[in-house]
Amino acid sequence: MADDIAQQFSTKMQLDKETGEMVSKNELKKRTQKRTKKAAAAARNGVSVSNPVQEPIPRGQLATAGEPVVDPDAIFKQDFLAQVYKERESKNVVTRFPPEPNGYLHLGHAKAITINFGFARYHGGKTVDSSVVIPLARFDDTNPDAEKEEYFIAIQETIRWLGFAPSKITYTSDNFQRLFDLAEELVKQKNAYVCHCNKAETELQRGGEKGASPRYRCAHANQDVETNLEKFRGMRDGKCAPQSAWLRLKQDIEDPNPQMWDIAAYQIPKDQKPHFRTGTKWRVYPTYDFAHCLCDSFEGITHSLCTTEFRMSRESYKWLNHRLVNFQPMQREYGRLNLTGTILSKRDIQSLIEKKIVRGWDDPRLFTLKAIQRRGIPPGALLSFIYELGVTTAESFVDNRRFQQSVRQYLERSVPRLMLVLDPIPVVIEDAEEQYLDIPFSPKDSKMGSHKIKLTKRIYIDRSDFREVDSKDYFRLAPGKTVGLLQIPYPVKAVSFTKDEASGAIMEIKAVYDKEGKKPKTYIQWVPEGCPTAEVRIHTALFNSDQPKLASGGFMDDVNPNSETIWPNAMVESGFYEVRRRAPWPKTEGEKLGEASLASVRFQAMRVAYFALDTDSTDDRIVLNQIVPLKEDLGKSSKG
């Protein structure tokens, strides 16, 4: 690793940011010139190459991960390697994304997915004999108590939505028999034993709560092979109560690494729920520590990429594979991705749902990938955010504002613009004549086309854009004051207004064109009479602090009670129908693979925010979610 870092920081070599390779200064210059030429040619042909979405760049230790090895001293000889290479017909890099199907994927998993797929693609691209990219998705389905079919389905949908297509979907449960047989083999090697100690006893053996007391092994470690085999088979055959027996590895209790202190290899789950795929066939299940490294080897995974908290597990990973298989994948780690101002853990999200603080796993205020999808964030925006962060081993806490900024930049150039009014009040322009206006969907990109708006005598503006009493520092509509209306040739001046006596609310404003006056300082949005109404949901941070987990009283006490504002009677111009018909916006790879969803109906509501259609919408009911505000840190209504 020290070598990798030295190489990365060597002054003679420079990083080619597009490929992630370290190359000489000359080479980098050549490449840059070539790319500039290509970009210029593409621009002439009308192909946009600005801001291309790039693969994450394997850097540092991931960049030089090297070859996996055939372990020459493998204890338990089996010719898996030949079989593995035959099965995948090449020696390409093979990675896998290994989700536990016990919940929905979250933002951090998107990083794991992009790294595993991106790494394989990156190296696959370099392999001469084959252009096949081989990332797998493997379900780590070893704990039926926590797993549900619903999660299996949702996880696969999410991977597809992100735009990735695993070459194969595999399951740890495909290998339950093989794993059991290997566990027996381990017992025969005297490298595993059945233990009946409870949690407290095991903790004590491993040095107590603080790890300060002397470590020791229990008497079970001295059982002979026959006893262990009989007990292990007894566990399998239902002779032991749940959680009353474990198969433990016989490692090295003196080793400084806790992952070597006789960790568990098999357990009997508490609830004994049927397994989604194997039903009631098995009563014992392998642990992650046991199954993961072996399945990696079975599947010919060359690079087992995982997050840094598994750094210590490298040793047990090798220890086990060395004893049972002769193909050793290499484990490499990258840092977890976390976001400020939110929580990602499945258990914590579950409690927010149970307390009805959010609408469900896909509530747009959460950062599960289902929530991100429902909120309307395009997969391409999410990927470019992750690619921008790059691959590092440091665990990062990324500022939520940076995430929003990244999404905003992506939307800015890729979605159409419309006018929407959150809280409409009517304005009658007394001297207006009905006419049709042709309005472009984008001020910058003519390819997005245009749509017609009927300018009616009676239009609607936002209640917050009118004041009964004018003041010097105010530039929107007020009696005697002129304001510009977006897309209309003339500004309007308010002449009078009516109020509801009881509530004091403005009922109607009368206005006239102000054709002679100065150019107005502000232009406001409006919609014509007769356009569709919509329910608009504006979300702000679900928590008050940046680190909800560290808040006094825990994250539940940190919940912001005003994180959702609903505007039930908003109005959106009828161009919306065309935006809906032409979705997805933008036409990103991910959504082409999957169905164009409601959430892919996206637009910028001028002066308000970016919006997407919510899943609560129907053919006749428009419900919109705010994707991101137009500017950083604007308040609830996002209006300036």
Separation between Cα atoms, residue 509 and residue 480, nearest integer Å: 12
Separation between Cα atoms, residue 231 and residue 31, nearest integer Å: 64
Binder of ligand ATP out of 8, 307, 400, 565 (CB under 6 A): 307
Site for Mg ion in 104-163 (CB under 5 A): none
- Give residue 554's region: left, alpha or beta (phi > 0; psi -120 to 50): left
- 572 within 8 A of 556, measured Cβ to Cβ: no
For ligand ATP, give the closer residue by CB, 244 or 345. Answer: 345
- Part in contact with ligand ATP (CB under 6 A); list of ranges 343-351, 487-495, 544-552, 568-576: 343-351
Site size toward ligand ATP, by CB under 6 A: 16
Residue 341 in contact with ligand ATP, rule: CB under 6 A: no
Least Å distance between CB 112 and ligand ATP? 3
| DSSP secondary structure, 312-381, as one string | THHHHHHHHHHHH-SEE-EEEEEPPEEETT----HHHHHHHHHTTSSSSTT-TTS-BHHHHHHHT--HHH
Residue 112 in contact with ligand ATP, rule: CB under 6 A: yes
Q: What is the DSSP letter of 471?
A: -
Nearest to 140 by CA among 165, 93, 176: 176
Residue 174 in contact with ligand ATP, rule: CB under 6 A: no
For ligand ATP, give the closer residue by CB, 285 or 610. Answer: 285
Least Å distance between CB 289 and ligand ATP? 13
- Which of Mg ion, ligand ATP, none lies near 91, with the C-beta cut-off 5 to 8 A by kind? none
Separation between Cα atoms, residue 240 and residue 554, nearest integer Å: 39
ω into 584 cis (within 30 of 0): yes
Residue 314 in contact with ligand ATP, rule: CB under 6 A: no
Catalytic residue status for 408: no
Question: Is 564 strand, coil or helix?
Answer: strand
- 266 within 8 A of 284, measured Cβ to Cβ: yes
Catalytic residue status for 413: no
Binder of ligand ATP out of 59, 88, 111, 607 (CB under 6 A): 111
By CB atoms closer than 10 A (0-12, 13-18, 19+), residue 218 is middle
Separation between Cα atoms, residue 354 and residue 212, nearest integer Å: 39
Separation between Cα atoms, residue 451 and residue 420, nearest integer Å: 15
**Binding-site string for ligand ATP from residue 13 to residue 32, where x marks contact by CB under 6 A and - marks none:** --------------------
Residue 409 in contact with ligand ATP, rule: CB under 6 A: no
Residue 346 in contact with ligand ATP, rule: CB under 6 A: yes
Helix or strand holding residue 538 (H, E): strand 533-539
Residue 345 in contact with ligand ATP, rule: CB under 6 A: yes
- 161 within 8 A of 594, measured Cβ to Cβ: yes
- Which of ligand ATP, Mg ion, none lies near 111, with the C-beta cut-off 5 to 8 A by kind? ligand ATP
- 539 within 8 A of 561, measured Cβ to Cβ: no
Separation between Cα atoms, residue 1 and residue 380, nearest integer Å: 32
Residue 602 in contact with ligand ATP, rule: CB under 6 A: no
Least Å distance between CB 625 and ligand ATP? 24
For Mg ion, give the closer residue by CB, 100 or 174. Answer: 100
- Which of Mg ion, ligand ATP, none lies near 112, with the C-beta cut-off 5 to 8 A by kind? ligand ATP
Catalytic residue among 31, 168, 217, 346: 346
- Which of Mg ion, ligand ATP, none lies near 380, with the C-beta cut-off 5 to 8 A by kind? none
Site for Mg ion in 49-108 (CB under 5 A): 100
Catalytic residue status for 607: no
Q: How far, CA to CA in Å, does 526 sit from each of 597, 608, 620?
A: 28, 11, 22
Catalytic residue among 31, 311, 336, 454: 336
- Which of Mg ion, ligand ATP, none lies near 19, with the C-beta cut-off 5 to 8 A by kind? none
Site size toward Mg ion, by CB under 5 A: 1
Classify the C-alpha dihedral 497-499-504-507 as positive or negative. Answer: negative
Least Å distance between CB 552 and ligand ATP? 23
Residues engaged in binding ligand ATP (CB under 6 A): 98-100, 103, 108-109, 111-112, 306-307, 336-338, 344-346
Residues engaged in binding Mg ion (CB under 5 A): 100
Annotated catalytic residues are: 100, 336, 346
